Amino acid sequence: MPTFCPLFSGSSGNSTYIATPRGGILIDAGVSAKRVCEALTARGIDPATLQAIFVTHEHVDHTAGVRVLAKKFDLPVIASYGTLSAIESTMDAGIRLAEMPAEGIELAGMRVTSFSLSHDAAQPTGYTVTFADDRRLAIATDTGILTEDVRRALRGCETVLLESNHDVTMLKNGPYPYPLKQRILGAYGHLSNDTAASLLPYLVESGTTRVVLGHLSKENNTPKQAELTARSRLAAAGLKEHLDYRLSVASPVSADPVIIL
């Protein structure tokens, strides 16, 4: 059976493990390689079974461990052309950098495809993973707006890890300097709880049964607030938790169990 686990999710680092019995992949490695390996090993997963690292964009909370992991396990690093150009100078000689093909790529019994996001990075992307039984999983974080590309990519995915970064009131009244607040709130920033929640009825009605809220800000959000906003919007649409969908929040540090899909 396929498995899925957000190893780390938040402003201090992001990494998600997805696997079949034939092997696994990482979407991002935004903490040290040591911490990623420890997180995998704690769950009974041998890091040597990894087959690739897919990178969403070049920011350090998504790339901090990529170089060491890629070198240690001889893993290809796969990303958009813009992201590869942005991280190329930080990679050691011999690390395999591969541009994400438009048609996707097959690895370990999974088909991985990408879609564009709206973020202040060179060429940010989200990823969808299709398993042998045609079930699909999507990861969409670090986007300031929900574009048609995002909606189209996520539609029909059984499992979705979606950014719910901040509560707008907490952000506006919080300690961040004004320019940073404007960046986060802008079209190339991060999704608020309200914006993320607005997409959820559409997703559940299109076939999503498991929603994981991710990339929560430590300073401008709480898991309780993100969940409350999401549940309220789903309830208003007449959708019932545990009957129509399951909802959870990804932990910022390695605390989430492996989910059997």
pLDDT of amino acid 66: 98
Question: HSE (CB half, 13 Å, CA atoms) of 129?
Answer: 26
Q: What is the pLDDT of residues 220-239, one digit of tens each?
A: 999 999 999 999 999 999 99
What's the CA gap between 254 and 261, in Å, rounded? 19
pTM (two decimals): 0.96
Query: How far is the CA of 258 from the CAs of 18, 72, 219, 250, in angstroms?
Result: 9, 24, 27, 12
Q: How confident is the model at residue 257 (pLDDT cuts 50, 70, 90)?
A: confident
Percent of the chain with pLDDT over 90: 95
Is the backbone of residue 213 left (phi > 0), alpha (psi -120 to 50) or beta?
A: beta
What are 129's two structure tokens? Answer: 């993973």
For residues 171-179, average pLDDT:
96
Percent of the chain with pLDDT over 70: 100
- 140 and 118 in contact (C-beta within 8 Å)? no
Q: What residues are paired with 140 via a beta bridge?
A: 162
pLDDT of amino acid 253: 85
Domain ranges in the chain are 3-260
Q: What is the pLDDT of residues 180-192, one digit of tens each?
A: 999 999 999 999 9
Superfamily of domain 3-260: Ribonuclease Z/Hydroxyacylglutathione hydrolase-like (3.60.15.10)
Q: What is the pLDDT of residues 183-218, one digit of tens each?
A: 999 999 999 999 999 999 999 999 999 999 999 999
For residues 70-83, average pLDDT:
98
Number of C-beta neighbours around residue 145 at 10 A: 14
Q: How confident is the model at residue 155 (pLDDT cuts 50, 70, 90)?
A: very high
- 45 and 17 in contact (C-beta within 8 Å)? yes
pLDDT of amino acid 82: 98
pLDDT of amino acid 47: 97
The overall average pLDDT reported for the chain is 96
What's the CA gap between 100 and 29, in Å, rounded? 17
What's the CA gap between 100 and 33, in Å, rounded? 22
For residues 113-130, average pLDDT:
98
The answer, yes or no, to whether residue 255 has pLDDT greater than 80, is no
The answer, yes or no, to whether residue 254 has pLDDT greater than 80, is no
Note the helical H segments in 147-192. 148-154, 168-173, 178-185
